[in-house]
Structures are given as structure tokens and as C-alpha cells.
Amino acid sequence: MSELLRKSLRWATFIGLVTALLAMLMTVVSTALLNGVSWLGGLLVVLVIVVVNVIFDMLGTAAAAGTERPFHAMAAKKVPGARHAIAILRRADQFSNFCNDVIGDICGIISGAAAFAVVGSLATEVGGNRTAWDVFLVSVISALTVGWKALGKTLSIRYANSILFQVGKLFFFLEDKLHIRLFNEKNNRKRKRKRGVSRAPRKN
């Protein structure tokens, strides 16, 4: 229990720092993209952020819903991406946390801030009540995000292994061509023997 708590605290600290860095980076990028653009351009930026949110939500859901067994035979045949898919599944809690919580929350916050900037452009260029535009745009963004996520979850649960295989192939490409390793494919978890059970001696 203490070991599990220690690992959980270490992961929570690490992912908190990563979240802060990613939030700063994505905020700077989105602010730069929105600076000086029309309301239509700003709206496109908001939609891109929503799509990124939905895609990562699908990846996190697929990791939680996938199963290892189909990938073992593929890994034995050295199919590219199979070992990486297994690595994702063995770290499904961390992978889902990153995709659903880290990226999802950051995208949600940034899309809200971007929508506020778009409302300002709309009120200036098109006219009308700023509050009315604000309520309308936030409602539309919320509806799109929730609706697309609902569709994405259905697809990611049904086709979890297919999605993970594609992600595994992407990770394989990054490792093989660009030498960027995101996961260690080997399972480092130690198997504990049950008490009172010993291995049978080898027969010569």
C-alpha cells in the first residue's frame, strides 16, 4: 500500500508539472494565433482546440477499454506498434490521466479563453450585445464538445484495440525513425509467487 501511494504521489507530482508547462505553451500558442485575427479565424482556432480535446479523450478512453491479448500474437510476430500498444495498456491509468485530464482540462480552459476573445471580435465587427454573443458561443462550444465526446467515447470503446494499434504504430515510428521513446515496452512489474507454491524442478 505504501509503495502504491509513493508511486501515485510521484506520478501526481510529475503530471502536475507537465500540465503547468503544457498549459503555458498552449496558452502562448493560442494567444499568438488569436492576436489580430478576425472573429471567423478565432472561431476556427476554437474549433481546432475542441477537436484536439475530443481526439485525446478518445485515446484515453480506448486505453481504459482495450485488452492486451490480441496484441501478444502480433508482438510475437514483431508487428510494428504491437509492443507499444501493450505498453500503453499496461500504463492505461497514466495514459488515460494524461489524455483525458491533462489535455482535456487544458483544452477546456483555453477554448473558454479563446471564445472570450472571439466574442470581443464579434461584438466589434458584427455588432450586437456582447453578453448575448458570449452566452451563444459558450453554449455552442459546450454542445459541440459534449456531443463529439459522446460520439468519440462510443467509437473508442467499440474500436479500442484498433485505435490503440494505430497509436502504437505512431509510437513505433517516433522511436524507430526519430529515436523518441515515449514508453518502455517491457513490463517492469515483478510477479510475486504465492506462498506455499514453489517451482517444480526441471527434468533432465
DSSP letter string, 13-60: HHHHHHHHHHHHHHHHHHHHHHTT--HHHHHHHHHHHHHHHHHHHHHH
Digit-coded pLDDT (tens) for 86-108: 999 999 999 999 999 999 889 98
Q: Are 16 and 73 in contact (CB under 8 A)?
A: no
Residues 6+ apart with CB under 8 A from 75: 82, 83, 86
* Closest by CA position to 110, among listed 22, 37, 40: 22
Measure the CA dihedral 173/178/184/186, to 10°. Answer: 60
Q: Are 89 and 67 in contact (CB under 8 A)?
A: yes
In the predicted model, is pLDDT for residue 192 greater than 70?
Answer: no
Q: Are 30 and 107 in contact (CB under 8 A)?
A: no
**Maximum pairwise Cα distance, the chain:** 89
Residue 160 DSSP code: H
pLDDT of the residue at 163: 97
In the predicted model, is pLDDT for residue 56 greater than 90?
Answer: yes
pLDDT of the residue at 186: 57
Q: Report the 10 Å Cβ neighbour count for 100.
A: 20
Among the listed ranges 37-41, 145-149, 154-158, which one has the minimum average pLDDT value? Answer: 37-41
Q: Are 66 and 89 in contact (CB under 8 A)?
A: yes
Q: Are 78 and 52 in contact (CB under 8 A)?
A: no
Distances (CA, A) of 182 to 95, 167, 172, 193: 11, 11, 9, 31
Digit-coded pLDDT (tens) for 112-154: 888 888 888 888 888 778 888 888 998 999 999 999 999 999 9
Distances (CA, A) of 15 to 10, 22, 30, 97, 101: 9, 10, 22, 9, 10
